[in-house]
Structure 1
Amino acid sequence: MHRILELYSGIGGMHCAWKESQLDGEVVLAVDINTVANEVYTHNFPETCLSNRNIQSFTSKEIEKLNVNTVLMSPPCQPFTRNGKYLDVNDPRTDSFTYLIQLLCELNNIEYILMENVKGFECSTVRNLFIDSLKACGFSYQEFLLCPTKVGVPNSRLRYYCIARRSVSEWHFKRKEDIITSLPCDYGLPNMLEEILQKEVPDKYLLNEKMLKRANVLDICYKHSRRSCCFTKSYTHYLDGTGSVYTNSNEDHVEKCYKVANTFDVGSEKFIELFKELKLRFFTPYEVLRLMSFPQNYEFPENITMKQCYRLLGNSVNVKVIGELLKILFD
């Protein structure tokens, strides 16, 4: 039975992925400094010990006393993104992860590691430090760039993953030097969005007139769509590039709206009235949870605001992708 340390635990995406994988083991300790995320985590995993503590305060002896053999983690991604100004190792938000990298060779009980981060991490100095440390500590590893669409999920969320293990003689997986961009199994086409849609959605999710002024930048999805854009923590706050919106109308109707809209000034009263017909709405937190493959029984506590839900989801992971990688890691 594996004993797991879940670092940067957030709302528990890694924990859900472990359960999804059906591997034998338990999360011994989860660690995160985000108090709102911790509240959501505890609501869904009340039996798991959760520490609201800076990772840099842990010593190698403390971690060894936990008697864990597996580390699952998703360190802060902002240092490796455009919005984070690509500060890489010079960003203070990398400090806890670089601390772990330095600590790794002292953690003799750790046999398995899974790490997730944003696309762009693979080009970073921190990535090089991480891989060098894995090699120095006797780990065999494999890097991936994977999107949930590769595992049948109708959502784009391209991310970097690295799986590593010390007991390489028993690893059936054939690793490659290059970054792998697909998994061994063929999962077929992504499912349709209608499988994750809520039946009754309150009007508060409808786009208001101010938002409809910018309907030209929206990514619109339908019940038969097999895709949706990546949801970020700014979803519903900004429109461009933060996630898709939904309409019960069909594609032909939407296409006609855009053709007519081209005859009006963008953002004009007639332009807005035209798009009102489509009843465009945001995906609900429940629907985004499903698109990120969280289980049906996962939920946000009632006191968590809609804005907080989206921010937490934007920082979370796709459960299905990680579940599949865990199966490979422990094969």
Structure 2
Amino acid sequence: MEYWEEINEKLKPWVDTALNKTVVDLFAGCGGLSLGFEANGFKTIGYEMDTQASITYGKNLIGDCINEKLTIESEYPKADIVIGGPPCQPFSVGGKQLGLKDSRDGFPIFLSAIKRLDPDVLLFENVRGMLYKNKWYLKEVIEELEKLGYYISYSLLNAKHYEVPQNRERVIVVGSKQRINLPRKVNRKVTAGDALGELAFQFDEKSKFFTESMDIYVAKYEKASKCINPRDLYLDRPARTLTCRNLAGATGDMHRVRLKDGRRRRITVREAARLQSFPDWFEFSGTETNQYNQIGNAVAPNFAYHLASNIKDHLMGTANSEYVLSANDQLKLFENEAVYQSR
């Protein structure tokens, strides 16, 4: 079975009546994280302020997506698990580090939801900078969660270690009223070629090829950035990280396929979706740019599947038992690693 055929079957939403657990997904986007949970039998309810992303969620998942902007006053239905990817902007104009007092930040909203719902389990994801430049802020968030009675475990995980054809690092934080561990790596490498198959070599009159001026710009970009290898897509390895910027714009860094005749072609929405491990049946709403942005912002669904499966095992009492460091000890490990890397 080809990788995309496997994903099409594996990531189908269903409801496990024996599990009977409801998940609230805050800042849900188009539903990448929720899809991983629904593929494990959880019921989901999403909250997303972007209208097109909310429509996409509703098209593809069993759960409803509430199209609204969340605040610390928002009310939610009863839920057993709270998940999400809170936007993180802890630095205000002028360099003041306001942390949880910053009104632009999503973590006060996430913490408010935890206080209101008192879930059995929580999970959030964020960019790797939370473990380095903004580690002070991650510590602040964790301390608030620990005050609420949660044991916290977190790490910098790479989606390529969880059957996703993409090198995508994210900080994953999971908490529970009992000690909980993060999922172990999966010993399987999935390449961009495994995900795209023949799509990588197909094109038609709608395909968007680089112009001569774009090729010249790319050459200058790669020279200025001292790029050893061109930024083209290599089919024998996982893709580099997909972002809104390198999908919907930014010629120099754009994700593109180099064809056998030497021409470069921008990857399509469906190809980008496959590299994020979205099933082929998953339909995106909105303009092409809307769709690229939804994909670039999403949690890779197959990565989410492993995160959800780990939580399901934890709730069912079938998780692998292993010692979990305290949050402070984990943070010290990352601080030591950051010091080592800076030398």
| Same fold? TM cut 0.5 | yes
Distance 1:229 1:87, change over 3 A: farther
C-alpha separation between the residues in 2 aligned to 1:289 and 1:86?
Answer: 38
Asked whether the 8 Å contact 1:6–1:31 carries over to 2, the reply is yes
Is 1:207 matched with 2:210? yes
TM-superposed CA distance for 1:185, in Å, is 4.0
- 2:162 aligned to which of 151, 158, 161: 151
Is 1:34 matched with 2:50? yes
Residue aligning to 1:292: 276
Residue aligning to 2:14: none
Distance 1:323 1:194, change over 3 A: closer
Residue aligning to 2:333: none
- 1:238 aligned to which of 250, 255, 259: 250
Is 1:10 matched with 2:10? no
Residue aligning to 1:256: none
Which residue identity does 2:47 align to in structure 1?
V
Which residue identity does 2:250 align to in structure 1?
Y
C-alpha separation between the residues in 2 aligned to 1:30 and 1:188?
Answer: 31
Asked whether the 8 Å contact 1:80–1:120 carries over to 2, the reply is no
Distance 1:48 1:162, change over 3 A: same
Is 1:113 matched with 2:129? no
Asked whether the 8 Å contact 2:166–2:192 carries over to 1, the reply is no
Asked whether the 8 Å contact 2:165–2:192 carries over to 1, the reply is yes
287-296 vs 147-156, which moves further: 147-156
TM-superposed CA distance for 1:87, in Å, is 6.8
Asked whether the 8 Å contact 1:151–1:190 carries over to 2, the reply is no
Residue aligning to 1:327: 309
Distance 1:188 1:51, change over 3 A: closer
Distance 1:185 1:166, change over 3 A: same
SS in 2 for 1:213: helix
Give a deviation string over 1:192-231, Cα, whole Å, max 9, x none: 52532426333432122231112323411244x2122112
Q: How many residue pairs were aligned? A: 275
C-alpha separation between the residues in 2 aligned to 1:139 and 1:190?
Answer: 34
C-alpha separation between the residues in 1 aligned to 2:176 and 2:68?
Answer: 26
Percent of aligned pairs sharing the same letter: 20
C-alpha separation between the residues in 2 aligned to 1:72 and 1:184?
Answer: 19
C-alpha separation between the residues in 1 aligned to 2:102 and 2:212?
Answer: 39
195-204 vs 112-121, which moves further: 195-204
**RMSD of equivalent CA atoms:** 2.6
C-alpha separation between the residues in 2 aligned to 1:32 and 1:127?
Answer: 23
C-alpha separation between the residues in 1 aligned to 2:90 and 2:259?
Answer: 37
Structure 2: stretches of 5+ with no match in the other structure? 1-19, 223-229, 314-343
SS in 1 for 2:298: coil
Asked whether the 8 Å contact 1:4–1:72 carries over to 2, the reply is yes
Is 1:315 matched with 2:297? yes
Which residue identity does 1:239 align to in structure 2?
T
Structure 1: stretches of 5+ with no match in the other structure? 176-182, 250-276
C-alpha separation between the residues in 1 aligned to 2:217 and 2:251?
Answer: 8
TM-superposed CA distance for 1:163, in Å, is 1.1
Is 1:140 matched with 2:151? yes
Residue aligning to 1:272: none
C-alpha separation between the residues in 1 aligned to 2:90 and 2:262?
Answer: 37
